[in-house]
Amino acid sequence: MIGTNRYIGSPVERIEDLRFLRGRGQFVGDLKRESMLHAAILRSPVAHGLIAAINPAAALAIAGVRAVITAKDVGGVPRIPLRLLPLPGTERFLQPVIAADRVRYVGEPVAVALADSPALAEDGVGAIALDIEELPPVPDRHVSGRGDILLYEEAGTNAAMIFTGDKGDADAAFRDADYVGRHRFAVQRHTALPMEPRGVLAEWDAAQGRMTVLGAAKVPFFNRDTLAAMLGLLPAEVDLIENDVGGGFGARGEFYPEDFLIPFAARHVGRPVRWLEDRREHLTAMNHARQADCEIEIACRSDGTILGVRGEVFVDLGAYVRTNGLIQPRTLAQCLTGPYRVPNVRITSTALLTNKTPSGTYRAPGRYEGSFFCERLIELAARDLGIDSAEMRLRNLISGGEMPYRLPRLEPVGPAGDTECDSGDYRETLERCLAEFGWEEKRALQGREIDGRYHGLAVACFIEGGGAGPKETARLDLEADGTASVYVGSTAVGQGLETVMAQIAADTLGMPLGQVRVLHGSTPFLDEGYGAFASRSTVLGGSAVFEAANALLAEIRAAAGARLGCAAEQVEVEDGYARAPDGRSLAFADLAAGGLRVTTAFGNDNRLTYTYGSAAAHVAVDPGTGDVELLDCLVVEDVGRIVNPLTLHGQAIGGMVQGLGGAFLEHLVYDATGQLLAGNLADYLIPTATDFPKIRAIALENHRSPSNPLGVKGAGEGAIIPIGGLMANAVANALASFGAMPNQLPLSSARVWHMGSAKKSTGSSE
């Protein structure tokens, strides 16, 4: 039970802002230790090859270079385990923490130089002689699928995993259909790109046998256990410390090679070691994401009712299966049809290995790509059937009466991977979106030329699976001064975790916000915990804090009742005081002496929450330049329950702009030899302040999630999902008279210009 709710539901200004605004954040690069050495990493300059020799002699001859570490020094080179979906067969494709005899992508770690300064460490890296016998590379998934060049000969295949999503009888549905449309679509390789590059600072205490690692993020408890096993230590002998983290978006904080190499180096040399990634290495070292293409079909009745979707999806996974690398192909197989009622589905999703940086999750993994595929497919069906875009979607959205709605069965996971949409009325957000956007009035502009620019409108709908994974733990301590300390296993990657958790705890305990402090993420705070992924922090961490706070409240009441001579349930709690019915009261500080502390774990048996929503956009396209101006873009989503409208709105707007980056700008281009051609922020373009100023987001809380006591749903990844499909459909509709078929992202100016420069109505397809 929540009391007065002064904070939950209010736009509470963030606690963490006070330090960030004054330049007092503590990011890993801000931290130093006495006698610390600096690490730089030699990375493979070729995409595929056999290591013939590594000679560090010239590096070690540089004054100030203290050591060079290679696979030989590591000995039995550990491989990085999968955190999610560790399915049989995947063990063949796990990444070693350092390349021993073979390199499989440009950027793969080969050696670590340790020196007195970062510059000297880089000098050291430059002086290491590395001799690699090049092998022919597998530059894309087509070559990979042919299998004549193998990344792992012993495996005999480049297919890391094949998922299928199955529901009903897809083939029968296609036999009976009035209409069948079949298309190819592709989403380009791009990446999360947090503004703070990664970093690790490791300290080895030889006397105590303890390893302390600063710079942890996202999933420190899993990473602690993984690192401990690799170093031959107990989890209790390893501490991962979470500092301020400059953005995560799914990519940062997974276990990367450096998360072993830097602690290993610290123990190896017996001194603290710090490594700070530079932006160029970030672009080849950190998880890439999103690259997928498909050939899919839709079957409909002539009235637009969708009968079935089937087809094949191919994911260009890169060189190894990383910790969460299978989430994207999994989600594409299971969730491609999004919020639509599709009774018959069969999607095969094949993850193919290539000589490129391995991929992993990036905000709404698989969902952004799947939405692009699905929304294009539906838009083309609507066009062919002569049905309005919005009407087509209204007709096919899952209705409130169908909840919970089961999504396709996933193989090879089986029933354990089953998931169902939990609650809501999907038409409600679409109707609200159309009304707020002014769809009826703007429809008249569809495809029209005004002053040389062509106007296009589109609408799209989405679901966001959130709140996934194991239990989350929270501990609440009532301190001697009457304040409360909240310890939670959830991690902060910039999303406002401290504020949101403090709001939940303060309301539940009836305390002023300023008397609640939130400590999170670092492993010493709790025996167990998990972290931040799959939009789970408010759902699982928030519920754990809520339940722990309720348990602490019960203890406060009991203690106060005993002291005040009344029953616990008669005690009223407000503003840090416990009051008896006769008006006498005790301050929390007076009660804390009894040592009040509660630890609670909350889990929801992996029942996902499904935030859902709709989006609409209006673009003007200049066919002469390929320029697309976004005149309006709106997302309306229902998140179950809003804890902080300010931070939630920030998640929505920020997600939309990231999605626009993927739709128009961001592209990790590789050449045929596996060299990355977008290795800096002048080549890898993300949105700037001038690019997309006209965007709006509205959040509703009409349908709570039944999966947790707060009724909240994961809400960090929804608004990005529909953006790719929405933009492609808006551009397609704008340039309909040119027969434009924008079936690949990104919608770069060159690509749009090409579509718009084709002679009117003769058609141009990509």
Partner 1 sequence: MRVSFRINGDPVAVEVEPRLHLADCLRDVLSLTGTHLGCEHGACGACTVIVDGTAVRACLMLTVQAEGTSVVTVEGLSSDDALSPLQTAFRKHHALQCGFCTPGMLTTAHALLTEEPDADADRIRSALSGNLCRCTGYIPIVEAVLEARAAYRKADKP
Residue 249 CB, nearest approach to partner 1 (Å): 7
Residue among 403, 686, 700, 758 that touches partner 1 (CB under 8 A): 686
Residue 660 CB, nearest approach to partner 1 (Å): 8
∠486-487-492 over CA atoms, to 5°? 105
Among 1-9, 75-83, 533-541, 652-660, which window interacts with partner 1 (CB under 8 A)?
A: 652-660
Binding residues for partner 1, total number by CB under 8 A: 55
Rounded Cα distance between 479 and 579, Å, is: 19
For residue 744, the Cα-to-chain-centroid distance in whole angstroms is 22
Q: What SS3 string covers 324-381?
A: CCCHHHHHHHHHCCCCECCCEEEEEEEEEECCCCCECCCCCCCHHHHHHHHHHHHHHH
Which C-beta is closer to partner 1: that of 7 or that of 577?
A: 7
**Which residues, numbered 178-207, are part of the site for partner 1 (CB under 8 A)?**
192-197
Is 277 a residue that touches partner 1 (CB under 8 A)?
Answer: no
CA–CA distances in Å: residue 332 to residues 137, 140, 336, 621, 723: 26, 19, 5, 30, 16
CA–CA distances in Å: residue 744 to residues 121, 148, 292, 540, 591: 42, 27, 10, 36, 63
Residue 400 CB, nearest approach to partner 1 (Å): 31
Is 368 a residue that touches partner 1 (CB under 8 A)?
Answer: no
Residue 693 CB, nearest approach to partner 1 (Å): 6
Residue among 79, 184, 649, 754 that touches partner 1 (CB under 8 A): 649
Among 265-273, 305-313, 541-549, 653-661, which window interacts with partner 1 (CB under 8 A)?
A: 653-661
Which C-beta is closer to partner 1: that of 352 or that of 493?
A: 493
Which C-beta is closer to partner 1: that of 149 or that of 646?
A: 646
Q: What SS3 string covers 208-248?
A: CCEEEEEEECCCHHHHHHHHHHHHCCCHHHEEEEECECCCC
Residue 257 CB, nearest approach to partner 1 (Å): 22
Question: Which amino acid makes up residue 392?
Answer: M
Region of 183 please: left (phi>0), alpha (psi -120 to 50) or beta: beta
Is 753 a residue that touches partner 1 (CB under 8 A)?
Answer: no
Residue 246 CB, nearest approach to partner 1 (Å): 3
Among 79-87, 567-575, 692-700, 737-745, which window interacts with partner 1 (CB under 8 A)?
A: 692-700
Is 757 a residue that touches partner 1 (CB under 8 A)?
Answer: no
Angle, in degrees to the nearest 10, between helices 220-231 and 257-269: 50
For residue 422, the Cα-to-chain-centroid distance in whole angstroms is 21
Cis previous bond, 412, omega within 30: yes
Element (H, E) at 507: helix 497-509
The binding track of 8-27 with respect to partner 1, each residue x by CB under 8 A or -, is -----xx-xxxxxxxxxx-x
Which C-beta is closer to partner 1: that of 15 or that of 173?
A: 15
Among 126-134, 347-355, 605-613, 654-662, which window interacts with partner 1 (CB under 8 A)?
A: 654-662
For residue 630, the Cα-to-chain-centroid distance in whole angstroms is 25
Could you tell me which residues come within 8 angstroms of residue 5 by beta carbon, excluding any fewer than 6 positions away?
507
Residue 635 CB, nearest approach to partner 1 (Å): 11
Of 527, 534, 532, 492, the C-alpha closest to 600 is 527
Q: Which two three-digit tokens encode residue 722?
A: 């529909």
Is 152 a residue that touches partner 1 (CB under 8 A)?
Answer: no
Taking a C-beta distance cutoff of 8 angstroms, is the pair 560, 591 a contact?
yes
Is 643 a residue that touches partner 1 (CB under 8 A)?
Answer: no
Residue among 50, 52, 61, 119 that touches partner 1 (CB under 8 A): 119
Is 654 a residue that touches partner 1 (CB under 8 A)?
Answer: yes
Residue 680 CB, nearest approach to partner 1 (Å): 6
Is 360 a residue that touches partner 1 (CB under 8 A)?
Answer: no
Is 690 a residue that touches partner 1 (CB under 8 A)?
Answer: yes
Which C-beta is closer to partner 1: that of 51 or that of 719?
A: 719
Is 88 a residue that touches partner 1 (CB under 8 A)?
Answer: no
Is 688 a residue that touches partner 1 (CB under 8 A)?
Answer: yes
Which C-beta is closer to partner 1: that of 173 or that of 723?
A: 723
Is 513 a residue that touches partner 1 (CB under 8 A)?
Answer: no
Is 53 a residue that touches partner 1 (CB under 8 A)?
Answer: no
What torsion do the CA atoms of 56, 58, 59, 60 make, to the nearest 10 degrees?
A: 80
**End-to-end alpha-carbon separation of the chain, Å?**
56
Region of 386 please: left (phi>0), alpha (psi -120 to 50) or beta: left
Which C-beta is closer to partner 1: that of 651 or that of 733?
A: 651
**Which residues, numbered 229-248, are part of the site for partner 1 (CB under 8 A)?**
244-248
Residue among 327, 364, 656, 735 that touches partner 1 (CB under 8 A): 656
Could you tell me which residues come within 8 angstroms of residue 717 by beta carbon, excluding any fewer than 6 positions away?
363, 364, 367, 464, 466, 535, 655
Which C-beta is closer to partner 1: that of 22 or that of 759?
A: 22
Q: What is the DSSP letter of 27?
A: B
3-class state of residue 619 by DSSP: strand
Residues that bind partner 1 (CB under 8 A): 13-14, 16-25, 27, 29-30, 119, 192-197, 244-249, 278-279, 493-496, 646-647, 649-650, 653-658, 680-682, 686-690, 692-693, 695
